[in-house]
């Protein structure tokens, strides 16, 4: 997925410029009618008549009973009251503004406001809530302790130095007060060898990199690029070419090396640049902050390396030089409807409706959610976007924390651009790119929405309607059975929370779903533009998918943290394997039978804590509480299993990642929970790959995993070899990976039996004698509120920005920044 126009440096610059020049385009339009945000501000929970009937009536209708009078159900409001304050919630506007003001008052931080900061000033990159330690959090949510003291996690971009670096610091307690607030380096969550809570910033001179280096080189070969592709990449307004390169940068031997590639700029509004590589690359040594000390190290064209521009120009001028063709923007790279309309497709397709309104409740202020027997809190951070806390089922916590840690897209190829690419996407962040969702498309039209906010350059940006919540009925039942005299079948109703982050060229859709049997599914689907390669002698690295285009092979690995608490924190991970055996039995007449048995064991320590899913799905992985057995003596637990394909990184000891991507090495990784190991990665791991802020492999230091608070770090992803069907965009039907958690001997029987939304039809000799519906509500025609069948998409606004320094809460303006 990668992607970013991974013109990341430029994107950052662009957004800074925008911020300083954009007039405050105050929300001039009248507040649009947003039909999918229902009953805003209502605190009353109204229950529709249909639901009342379901609750009160012990209806057991049969054929001869008259249809009930249609009743027009009012839409349910969906307000819950969180039992506790959401301690994973973002900072409020006022808290953030207070921290920012306080930071600028600290002379020792020597900060410059972002809009005035140059490459040689310190500035603030991030202000957000510091996650609470689990011990403090549990004392609050499970008992009567006071809420953990709030602190801010601040990232400073310290560039007023020869050694530019990002510094993670803690500020607090909040709200800040001149007499009590302090700051100190944030070090305990990181395990960088060199310590200190800082990591170097290889991006500090992104302005100079383009103006004094990349465009100068682009201009130096303008004659050649005009000849090859009728264009230039020289930083001119009339450029039709672009240049950008590898991520992370090569960091061997203490040198910082870049490879950059030429790309065509799209000639349309479509974001097709990652489909337009041109097959020319150059290498630079950009070690240090002084562009005059940087070194140009050569060109690569059609797998031939030229050490100097003169060598390259001489080759190009020679008669024998063969010019490879360009990749050119066109309809093949555009997503709008094209081709003959499919039969009957112009008629509207089926839609789902909620005849009784929402059957879940949300505390929008606290981002706390209840559906059926589940409840949880939602958190949101810049690095990883949406995360879930204190996920309970029937009042008992199943997971303390569930959420994305990092997403890797590791490419390979015979050219240095593809070979050198291994995007660690939290560098760009999942929060800043969790854009507004499109009702009726990203989520059902009737979904509820939450906003999310993130900090950027002394402002808070709000993605409106960027998390959606909805119930859905699957197109297959959760249970059924037919005999000669009855059929029993149960609707598979589930609840999903979804957000989509578009990190550059790729769109990741994250869905967390909760089911009536107590199971939970985490899924990621991907769409958007692939990053492709120039097709020249690279058959071993991808399919030939367009004119001079290779669908560049790459691995996606997305790491999720699942901090299980099964009936408390005293947990173990039990393994149960199916093994083929030859075995004789007292009844087998002395003969061995070829059969199979179960072998049970426990993951004893972190030394055994990293492994892959067994071939043929032979081994079950079950998080259990050894002290909590069911009546039959089996451990109560939750099993973890792949839902759809998952994958770990094919590359071993990646030359691009070194120690920065160790989380991607296995399918399942289990550690003992520690407040010092809250996250598998750090947003700036790419800046120092040999000694990153978080080297995940260091978590594994032999600690016992029996009867401990265990954390599972689970990888999803796919081995993506794009084919012609990835043009113009990858499709989510198959770009899909998921993991499920399911109760394992946790209850005495399946919990979905509690739903009334099932039926048992009794029949005999062609006649139905009973239809049992267990008191379920009846959707009357009147209650089916189809209005609007098509959501009002003219209410889509993009992000809303509020300035924090100077704090200007009453003048929000619209501005949406994407990486490309």
Ligand X SMILES: *[C@@H]1O[C@H](CO)[C@@H](O)[C@H](O)[C@H]1NC(C)=O
Active-site residue, 151 included: no
Q: Considering only the stretches 61-69, 270-278, 353-361, 613-621, report the one whose residues sit in contact with ligand X under the rule CB under 6 A.
A: 61-69
Establish if 443 lies at the interface with ligand X (CB under 6 A).
no
Find the binder of ligand X among 309, 570, 612, 644 (CB under 6 A).
Answer: 570
Q: Which segments of 493-579 does DSSP mark as H helices, in order?
A: none
Closest separation in Å from C-beta 332 to Cu ion: 18
Active-site residue (options: 205, 425, 565, 695)? 425
Distance between CA atoms of residues 643 and 549, nearest Å: 33
Q: Considering only the stretches 104-112, 393-401, 503-511, 746-754, report the one whose residues sit in contact with ligand X under the rule CB under 6 A.
A: 104-112
Establish if 230 lies at the interface with ligand X (CB under 6 A).
yes
Find the binder of ligand X among 85, 309, 324, 479 (CB under 6 A).
Answer: 324
Please count the CA atoms within 13 angstroms of the CA of 649 that sit on its side-chain side.
Answer: 26
Establish if 539 lies at the interface with ligand X (CB under 6 A).
no
Beta bridge partners of 625: 636
DSSP character string of 190-249: ---TT-TTEEE-TTTTHHHIIIIIIHHHHHHTHHHHHHHHS---SS-TT--EEEEE-BSP
The DSSP symbol for 21 reads: H
Handedness of CA 475, 481, 486, 488 (dihedral sign): negative
Find the binder of ligand X among 133, 211, 650, 785 (CB under 6 A).
Answer: 133
Closest CA to 380 of 390, 367, 391, 370: 367
Burial class (CB in 10 A: 0-12, 13-18, 19+), 635: buried
Establish if 302 lies at the interface with ligand X (CB under 6 A).
yes
Closest CA to 380 of 149, 97, 170, 89: 89
Handedness of CA 224, 229, 231, 232 (dihedral sign): negative
Establish if 450 lies at the interface with ligand X (CB under 6 A).
yes
Q: Considering only the stretches 8-16, 62-70, 289-297, 738-746, report the one whose residues sit in contact with ligand X under the rule CB under 6 A.
A: 62-70
Active-site residue, 140 included: no
The DSSP symbol for 784 reads: -
Cβ closest to Cu ion, residue 566 vs residue 649: 649
Query: Which entry of Cu ion, ligand X, none binds 105, CB below 5 to 8 A by partner kind?
Result: ligand X
Cβ closest to ligand X, residue 79 vs residue 324: 324
Find the binder of ligand X among 163, 267, 268, 303 (CB under 6 A).
Answer: 303
What are 718's two structure tokens? 């796919």
Query: Which entry of Cu ion, ligand X, none binds 487, CB below 5 to 8 A by partner kind?
Result: none
The DSSP symbol for 312 reads: H
Establish if 176 lies at the interface with ligand X (CB under 6 A).
no
Closest CA to 33 of 783, 791, 784: 791
Query: Which entry of Cu ion, ligand X, none binds 675, CB below 5 to 8 A by partner kind?
Result: ligand X
Cβ closest to Cu ion, residue 528 vs residue 777: 528
Q: How far is residue 264 from each of residues 8, 195, 259, 272, measured CA to CA in Å? A: 17, 42, 17, 9
Establish if 703 lies at the interface with ligand X (CB under 6 A).
no
Establish if 160 lies at the interface with ligand X (CB under 6 A).
yes
By rule CB under 6 A, what string of x and - marks binding of each residue 592-631 to ligand X? ----------------------------------xx----
Establish if 220 lies at the interface with ligand X (CB under 6 A).
no
Q: Which segments of 81-165 does DSSP mark as H helices, in order?
A: 93-105, 134-141
Distance between CA atoms of residues 712 and 609, nearest Å: 9
Question: Rule CB under 6 A: which of 742-781 touch ligand X?
Answer: 770
Query: Which entry of ligand X, Cu ion, none binds 112, CB below 5 to 8 A by partner kind?
Result: ligand X
Cβ closest to ligand X, residue 45 vs residue 593: 45
**Interface ranges with Cu ion (CB under 5 A):** 1, 720
Establish if 93 lies at the interface with ligand X (CB under 6 A).
no
Q: Considering only the stretches 107-115, 407-415, 635-643, 742-750, report the one whose residues sit in contact with ligand X under the rule CB under 6 A.
A: 107-115
Distance between CA atoms of residues 386 and 390, nearest Å: 14
Closest separation in Å from C-beta 314 to ligand X: 15
Name the residue with tokens 């759809």. 644
Find the binder of ligand X among 25, 65, 634, 701 (CB under 6 A).
Answer: 65
Query: Which entry of ligand X, Cu ion, none binds 483, CB below 5 to 8 A by partner kind?
Result: none
Distance between CA atoms of residues 520 and 740, nearest Å: 6
Distance between CA atoms of residues 737 and 438, nearest Å: 22
Helix/strand/coil percentages in the chain, nearest 5: 15, 35, 45
Distance between CA atoms of residues 327 and 49, nearest Å: 61
Closest separation in Å from C-beta 292 to ligand X: 20
Question: Rule CB under 6 A: which of 388-407 touch ligand X?
Answer: none
Query: Which entry of Cu ion, ligand X, none binds 720, CB below 5 to 8 A by partner kind?
Result: Cu ion
Active-site residue (options: 393, 506, 508, 643)? 506
Closest separation in Å from C-beta 111 to ligand X: 8
Cβ closest to ligand X, residue 103 vs residue 735: 103
Closest CA to 7 of 206, 295, 200: 206
Q: Considering only the stretches 72-80, 115-123, 384-392, 468-476, report the one whose residues sit in contact with ligand X under the rule CB under 6 A.
A: 115-123
Closest CA to 400 of 706, 139, 148: 139
Which residue ranges make up the site for ligand X (CB under 6 A)? 40, 62, 64-65, 105, 110, 112-113, 115-116, 120-121, 133, 143-144, 160, 178, 188, 230, 236, 238, 240, 302-303, 322, 324, 364, 450-451, 462, 464, 537, 570, 626-627, 653, 675-676, 707, 770, 800
**Active-site residue list:** 425, 506
């Amino acid at each position: 997925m990668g992607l970013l126009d991974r013109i990341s440096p430029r994107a950052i610059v662009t957004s800074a410029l925008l911020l300083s020049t954009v007039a405050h385009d105050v929300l001039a339009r009248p507040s649009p009618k947003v039909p999918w945000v229902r009953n805003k501000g209502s605190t009353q929970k109204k229950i529709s008549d249909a639901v009342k009937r379901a609750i009160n009536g012990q209806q057991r209708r049969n054929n001869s009973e008259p249809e009930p009078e249609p009743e027009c159900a009012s839409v349910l409001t969906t307000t819950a009251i969180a039992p506790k304050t959401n301690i994973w919630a973002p900072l409020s506007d006022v808290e953030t503004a207070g921290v920012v003001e306080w930071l600028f008052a600290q002379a020792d931080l020597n900060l410059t406001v972002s809009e005035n900061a140059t490459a040689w000033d310190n500035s603030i990159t991030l202000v957000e809530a510091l996650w609470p330690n689990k011990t403090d959090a549990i004392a609050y949510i499970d008992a009567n302790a006071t809420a953990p003291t709030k602190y801010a996690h601040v990232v400073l971009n310290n560039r007023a130095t020869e050694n530019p670096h990002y510094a993670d610091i803690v500020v607090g307690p909040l709200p800040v007060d001149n007499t009590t607030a302090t700051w100190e380096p944030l070090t305990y969550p990181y395990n960088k060898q060199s310590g200190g809570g800082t990591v170097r910033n290889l991006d500090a001179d992104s302005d100079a990199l383009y103006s004094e280096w990349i465009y100068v080189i682009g201009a130096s070969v303008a004659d050649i690029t005009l000849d090859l592709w009728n264009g230039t990449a020289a930083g001119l307004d009339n450029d039709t070419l672009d240049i950008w390169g590898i991520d992370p940068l090569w960091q061997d031997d203490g040198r910082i090396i870049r490879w950059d590639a030429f790309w065509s700029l799209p000639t349309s509004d479509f974001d097709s640049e990652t489909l337009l590589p041109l097959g020319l690359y150059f290498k630079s040594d950009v070690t240090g902050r002084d562009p005059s000390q940087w070194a140009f190290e050569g060109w690569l064209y059609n797998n031939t390396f030229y050490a100097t521009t003169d060598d390259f120009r001489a080759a190009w001028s020679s008669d024998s030089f063969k010019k490879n063709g360009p990749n050119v923007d066109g309809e093949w790279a555009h997503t709008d409807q094209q081709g003959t309309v499919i039969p009957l497709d112009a008629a509207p397709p089926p839609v789902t409706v909620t005849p009784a309104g929402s059957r879940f409740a949300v505390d929008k202020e606290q981002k706390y959610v209840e559906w059926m027997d589940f409840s949880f809190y939602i958190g949101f951070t810049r690095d990883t976007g949406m995360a879930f806390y204190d996920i309970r089922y029937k009042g008992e916590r199943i997971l303390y924390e569930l959420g994305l840690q990092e997403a890797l897209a590791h490419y390979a190829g015979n050219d240095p651009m593809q070979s050198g690419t291994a995007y660690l996407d939290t560098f760009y962040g999942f929060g800043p790119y969790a854009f507004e969702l499109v009702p009726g498309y990203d989520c059902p039209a009737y979904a509820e929405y939450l906003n999310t906010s993130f900090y950027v350059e002394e402002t808070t940006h709000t993605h409106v309607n960027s998390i959606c919540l909805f119930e859905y009925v699957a197109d297959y039942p959760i249970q059924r059975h037919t005999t000669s005299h009855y059929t029993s079948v149960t609707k598979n109703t589930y609840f999903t929370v979804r957000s989509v982050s578009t990190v550059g060229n790729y769109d990741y859709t994250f869905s967390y779903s909760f089911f009536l049997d107590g199971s939970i599914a985490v899924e990621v689907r991907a769409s958007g533009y692939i990053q492709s390669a120039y097709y020249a002698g690279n058959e071993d690295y991808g399919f030939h998918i367009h004119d001079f285009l290779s669908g560049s092979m790459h691995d996606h690995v997305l790491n999720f943290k699942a901090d299980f608490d099964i009936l408390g924190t005293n947990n173990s991970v039990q393994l149960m394997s199916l093994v083929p055996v030859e075995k004789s039995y007292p009844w087998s007449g002395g003969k061995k039978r070829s059969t199979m048995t179960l072998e049970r064991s426990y993951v004893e320590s972190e030394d055994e804590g990293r492994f892959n899913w067994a071939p043929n799905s032979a081994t079950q992985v079950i998080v259990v509480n050894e002290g909590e057995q069911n009546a039959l003596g089996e451990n109560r637990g939750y099993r973890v299993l792949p839902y759809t394909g998952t994958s770990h990184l094919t590359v071993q000891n990646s030359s691009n990642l070194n120690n920065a991507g160790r989380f991607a090495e296995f399918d399942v990784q289990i550690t003992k929970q520690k407040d010092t190991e809250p996250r598998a990665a750090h947003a700036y791991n790419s800046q120092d790959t040999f000694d990153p802020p978080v080297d995940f492999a260091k978590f594994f230091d032999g600690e016992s995993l029996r009867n401990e608070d265990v954390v599972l770090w689970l990888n999803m992803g796919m081995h993506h070899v794009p084919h012609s069907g990835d043009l113009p965009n990858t499709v989510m039907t198959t770009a899909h990976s998921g993991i499920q958690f399911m109760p394992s001997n946790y209850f005495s029987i399946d919990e979905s039996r509690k739903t009334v939304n099932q039926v048992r039809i009794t029949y005999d000799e062609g006649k139905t004698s009973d239809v049992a519906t267990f008191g379920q509500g009846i959707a009357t025609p009147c209650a089916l509120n189809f209005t609007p069948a098509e959501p009002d998409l003219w209410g889509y606004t993009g992000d809303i920005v509020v300035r924090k320094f100077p704090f200007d809460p009453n003048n929000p303006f619209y501005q949406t920044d994407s990486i490309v």
